[in-house]
């Protein structure tokens, strides 16, 4: 039985056709003020957030409310048996599944894809495990397509710690399916795209170019500035080097981005030294900056993903 | 006025007739995918969880969502004035009552039955006070009846720390009303059924048999394996003895349970030494194991209990 | 665009006419058991509670549920990036705005009025910044009007630390617009009404009388007993003096309040020495005590405020 359930436990659970269908649905839901509460009345989205979340959780909660249902479960790491060491992730997710129609999960290391083989309800990866913010990647894909018209064969620039960024790694996996060419400046080489992600993306049709930000900032269709908060366990010396060399961009730098291109800074936008990865006010003032557009459109994208996995006609 | 409000602050607030009515309603709600949002539109279930909860809270939240309402209040102990010592339980519950139609409460020691005399909305005991998980007991009753056909005059086996288990003590109180015979192996005598519970259950029509697990495992209609997490204050030496003597059951042991019987392991299924009380994978693979069936059916049971206490026709 | 959005970031964002409209709506919603879920189906109230809340959060959650929507965001300080120092309040609120139709915010010091100039959704001050519980003040106004018939030109008594009480300061600002005369006994002079609040209220038409509780308790239309929990940073010696001199009132004292007057004790009603600011049981037993009436009516008041700010016809 569980084998017939659709999951989105990782980007590679979906083909390009799946993504196209989710993007089609998101467009339908991306209308302010329209009442969609008849789409999934009384349906329950279970939250399993074993790491902090502001944006992913709020948008997911908003999505199920707008669809006519509600959310339950564990919206933040404080106050769960997992947190106090009295229960395993598997047992907790098994139990959350018993009262929800679909789950969204965040955890620093849990392997959601392995778990999906025995899961009893559809799973959404809301940044779970070390390698992906899978749900976030669809949000990025939707907003990018809305802004640029299409997302095939794009030139994508990454500036920052790709290796440590689960959103960035998910974005690479998704856009690889659309034939992207990635220009990567990891600031320090230790934070470059992991070899296994690069090889996998190349096999899917992507190309990688190692370059300096200044060499591709004016070339790319989409510039992605990565959050400066590494995964636990990074070498403090490498991080110090990173913080020292990292260039906080503002208005003058964005002026070098092509007029018909877009850019994005990840959130939370903090670095470990307390600075923000861009001048946020100057970024937000630029109509090519998609950070908040992506968050605003994240709710309809989640509505699309939830209805798709629940097999609700839209 | 408060005196006319129905409460379920303890198992003994309900007669067998009350339980039968709740079980009748639960059966109506126990249908996947059916829309019940017209049953209690806009009704609010207030949560007062002053101890951790995964299953009880999630199922209760799910129940009110499926009924067309929503939940508010204190879903976990972190972040309440009670938690930081600035307010009493009474004052907090009084205030939660002002914005909710019905409350569900969990607390390690609070006497919900005394409080119910002045309460202004119906109360549900979601494991409140030292003696009961009253709401859980109805869930057990429902699933057991669904599985076995009826719950009258059952032979029930308990293996584990009955004394410390609020779910077990509530199950005894409820099934006593149905004429159960209880076979109890508390592993170490210190964890045997408390005298006052035993006497009360006997007065209600129950019988108790002290025996070893191996002597009743093949006899009972329902085997209940109790969680290994004692209430605070247990003697560490007794607990050490308990952990040492406790037998973790698996496939081979379940093979000794009657083919037409059922069994159950409590969750969280952890012991204080980090082991789980049964081999969970082997238990879950057995169709006679009701642990997850009970959780899946817990949402309709809560829908039944909420509508009954709110006097909504079903 | 943001400039056309209505906010209630502070009492002075609203004119008397605005308050009258909110009170008119609250009366419509102040009906038990009536279904209003067609008023705001699928609308989302975003919570940004960066300090504890029991009553304000629960009532706001209840309001949006009763209107047919739901709530998301940060319901308690534990478990947010702001809490763990990884994100600023501005950036967090910007992001919460992206998935909600309206926000309610609590923070010890954040300046919500300044922030409102760039906010993208309507804001409600749920005790934000050092000076006001703005939303609470409307609740007080509604219940007072319901009880007394009108709230023009009232004689209002305050007993306690006005300076430290955000609810009291908001009440002064709101009732000043209705021509109130305030009789203030701060127990110790250090906790008297701040000069800037007094001057502002006088400019709006209010009068202030410094007096002892015993001199005005039998005179006022409404006696307000203030919570005994000061804002952080108060001099411990002043607080010790305060606790020593503060008179815990009970039945005998309430007997001195006029028969046709009303009184109120703030909640949480705790003092720093562990006592409660009044004898709560005796206060609650008095039909002139509005503390719980105010909480019960707080949900319809929030329904009124939310629909007004969202420009939904009622």
CA B93/CA B110 separation, integer angstroms = 11
C245 C-beta neighbours (distance < 10 Å), count = 9
Distance CA B126, CA B49 (A): 8
**Phi and psi for A124 in degrees, rounded to 5?**
-120, 130
> What pLDDT, on the 0 to 100 scale, is given for residue C314?
96
What does the pLDDT read at residue C1? 43
**How many angstroms separate the CA atoms of C139 and C125, rounded?**
13
Q: Given an 8 Å threshold on Cβ–Cβ distance, is C59 in contact with B94?
A: no
Q: What is the pLDDT of residue C4?
A: 86
How far does the CA of residue C44 sit from the closest CA of chain A (Å)? Answer: 6
A149 part of contact set with chain B, CB < 8 Å: no
Taking the C-alpha atoms of residue A239 and residue B219, their distance in angstroms, rounded to an integer, is 64
Task: Tally the residues of chain A.
Answer: 314
Task: Enter the DSSP assignment of C249.
Answer: B
CB contact under 8 A, B58 and A96: yes
How many CB atoms within 10 Å of residue A3?
A: 7
Distance, in Å, from the CA atom of B236 to the CA atom of C200, rounded to the nearest integer, reads 63
* Cβ atoms of B125 and B134 closer than 8 Å: yes
Distance (Å) from the C-alpha of residue B123 to the closest C-alpha of chain A? Answer: 20
C258 closest CA partner among C201, C218, C293, C307: C218
Among the listed residues C47, C50, C108, C46, the one whose alpha carbon sits nearest the alpha carbon of residue C78:
C50
What span, in angstroms and rounded, lies between the C-alpha atoms of A171 and A11? 9
Q: Does any CB of chain C come closer than 8 Å to the CB of residue B38?
A: no
Residue at token pair 């410094």: C210
Residue A79 has pLDDT above 70, yes or no: no
User: Quick check: C218 contacting A, CB < 8 Å?
Assistant: no
C96 touches chain A (CB under 8 A): yes
Dihedral (Cα; A95, A98, A103, A109), 10-degree rounding: 20
Of A46, A71, A79, the CB nearest to B78: A79
Burial of B247 (0-12, 13-18, 19+ CB in 10 A): middle
Chain centroid to Cα A88, Å, comes to: 25
State the smallest CA–CA distance between residue B268 and chain A in angstroms: 6
Q: Are the beta carbons of A163 and A194 closer than 8 angstroms?
A: yes
pLDDT reading at B89 higher than 50: yes
**pTM recorded for the entire structure:** 0.96
Cβ–Cβ gap A87/B37 under 8 Å: no
At A14, the pLDDT band (50, 70, 90 cuts) reads very high
Instruction: Say whether residue B45 is in contact with chain A using an 8 A CB cutoff.
Output: no
Q: Decide if B68 and A42 are in contact by the 8 Å CB cutoff.
A: yes
B3: confidence class by pLDDT, cuts 50, 70, 90: low
Mean pLDDT of B278-296: 97
Per-residue model confidence as pLDDT tens digits over B106-122: 999 999 999 999 999 99
Cβ of C292 within 8 Å of Cβ of B98? The answer is: yes
Beta strands in A7-86 (DSSP E): 44-49, 70-74
Q: How far is C150 from chain A (nearest CA, A)?
A: 37
Contacts of A293 by beta carbon, 8 Å cutoff, 6+ apart: A143, A146, A147
Question: What confidence score (pLDDT) does residue C3 get?
Answer: 57
| C-alpha gyration radius of chain B | 19
Bridge partner residues of C289 (DSSP): C263
Residue A234 has pLDDT above 90, yes or no: no
For the stretch B248-251, contacts whose Cβ atoms lie closer than 8 Å and that sit 24 or more positions apart, written own/partner, are B248/B275, B248/B276, B248/B277, B248/B278, B248/B279, B249/B159, B249/B225, B249/B278, B249/B279, B249/B283, B250/B278, B250/B279, B250/B282, B250/B283, B251/B279, B251/B282, B251/B285, B251/B286
Highest mean pLDDT among A79-93, B225-239, C198-212, C232-246: C198-212
Q: Give A223-272 as a DSSP string.
A: EEEPPB-PPTT--HHHHHHHHHH---B-HHHHTTS-TT-EEEE-SS-BBT
The pLDDT, as a whole number, for residue A232 is 82
For A116, half-sphere exposure in the C-beta direction (CA atoms, 13 angstrom radius) is 21
The answer to whether the CB of C249 falls within 8 A of the CB of C225 is: yes
pLDDT of A80 above 80: no
Closest C-alpha to A265, from B114, C94, C234, C68: C94
CB contact under 8 A, C68 and A292: no
CA–CA distance, A60 with A134 (Å, rounded to integer): 13
pLDDT range class, residue A125, cuts 50, 70, 90: very high
Mean pLDDT of A34-44: 98
A104, A227, A268: which to substitute to probe chain C, counting the most C Cβ within 10 Å?
Answer: A268
Strand partners, C156: C182, C222
**pLDDT tens, position by position, B157-203:** 999 999 999 999 999 999 999 999 999 999 999 999 999 999 999 99
**Which residues lie below 8 Å from residue B110, measured CB to CB, with a gap of 6+?**
B50, B89, B128, B129
Q: What is the mean pLDDT of residues B297-305?
A: 98
Query: Closest Cα of chain A to B65: distance in Å?
Result: 5
pLDDT over threshold 90, residue B293: yes
SS3 C13: helix
| Mean pLDDT value across residues A105-127 | 96
User: How many other CB atoms are there within 10 angstroms of residue B78's CB atom?
Assistant: 19
**Cα A300 from Cα A41, distance rounded (Å):** 16
Chain A contact partners (≥3 CB pairs within 8 A): B, C
User: Model confidence at B87, in pLDDT bands (50, 70, 90)?
Assistant: confident
Query: What letter would DSSP give residue B257?
Result: S
- Chain A residues in contact with C68 by the CB 8 A cut-off are 37
In the block, residue with structure tokens 């944006």: A55
Average pLDDT over residues B235-256: 96
Burial (CB count <10 Å: 0-12, 13-18, 19+), residue B260: exposed
Mean pLDDT by 10-residue block, N- to C-terminus, for chain C (314 residues)?
81 98 98 96 97 93 98 85 81 95 96 97 96 97 97 98 96 98 97 97 97 98 95 89 96 97 94 94 97 97 98 97
A99·B67 Cβ contact <8 A:
no
**Torsions phi, psi of B223, nearest 5?**
-105, 125
Cβ–Cβ contact C156 with B under 8 A: no
Residue A1, pLDDT score: 43
For chain B, give the mean pLDDT.
Answer: 95
Q: Which of A46, A79, A95 has its CB closest to that of B52?
A: A79
> Using only C-alpha atoms, what is the Rg of chain C?
19
């Amino acid at each position: 039985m569980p084998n017939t359930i659709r999951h989105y436990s990782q980007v590679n659970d979906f083909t390009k056709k799946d993504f196209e269908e989710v993007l089609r649905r998101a467009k339908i839901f991306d209308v302010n003020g329209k009442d969609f509460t008849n789409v999934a009345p009384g349906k329950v989205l279970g939250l399993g957030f074993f790491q902090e979340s502001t944006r992913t959780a709020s948008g997911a909660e908003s999505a199920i409310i707008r669809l006519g249902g509600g959310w339950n479960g564990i919206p933040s790491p404080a106050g769960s048996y997992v947190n106090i060491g009295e229960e395993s992730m598997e047992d907790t997710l098994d139990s959350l599944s018993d009262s929800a129609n679909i789950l969204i999960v965040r955890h620093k290391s849990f392997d959601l894809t392995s778990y999906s083989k025995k899961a009893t309800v559809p799973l959404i990866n809301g940044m779970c495990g070390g390698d992906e913010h899978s749900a976030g990647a669809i949000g990025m894909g939707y907003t990018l397509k809305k802004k640029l018209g299409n997302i095939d064969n794009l030139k994508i620039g990454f500036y920052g710690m790709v290796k440590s960024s689960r959103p960035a790694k998910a974005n690479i996996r998704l856009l690889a399916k659309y034939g992207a060419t990635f220009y990567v400046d990891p600031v320090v080489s230790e934070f470059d795209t992991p070899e296994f992600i690069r090889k996998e993306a190349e096999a899917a049709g992507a190309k990688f170019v190692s370059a300096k930000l200044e060499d591709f900032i004016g070339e790319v269709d989409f510039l992605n500035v990565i959050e400066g908060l590494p995964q636990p366990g990074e070498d403090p010396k490498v991080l110090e080097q990173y913080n020292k060399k990292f260039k906080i961009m503002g208005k003058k730098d964005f002026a070098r981005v092509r007029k018909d291109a877009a850019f994005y800074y990840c959130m939370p936008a903090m670095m470990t030294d307390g600075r923000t990865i861009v001048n946020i006010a100057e970024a937000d003032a630029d109509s090519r900056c998609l950070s908040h557009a992506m968050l605003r459109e994240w709710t309809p994208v989640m509505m699309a993903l939830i209805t798709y996995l629940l097999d609700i006609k839209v």
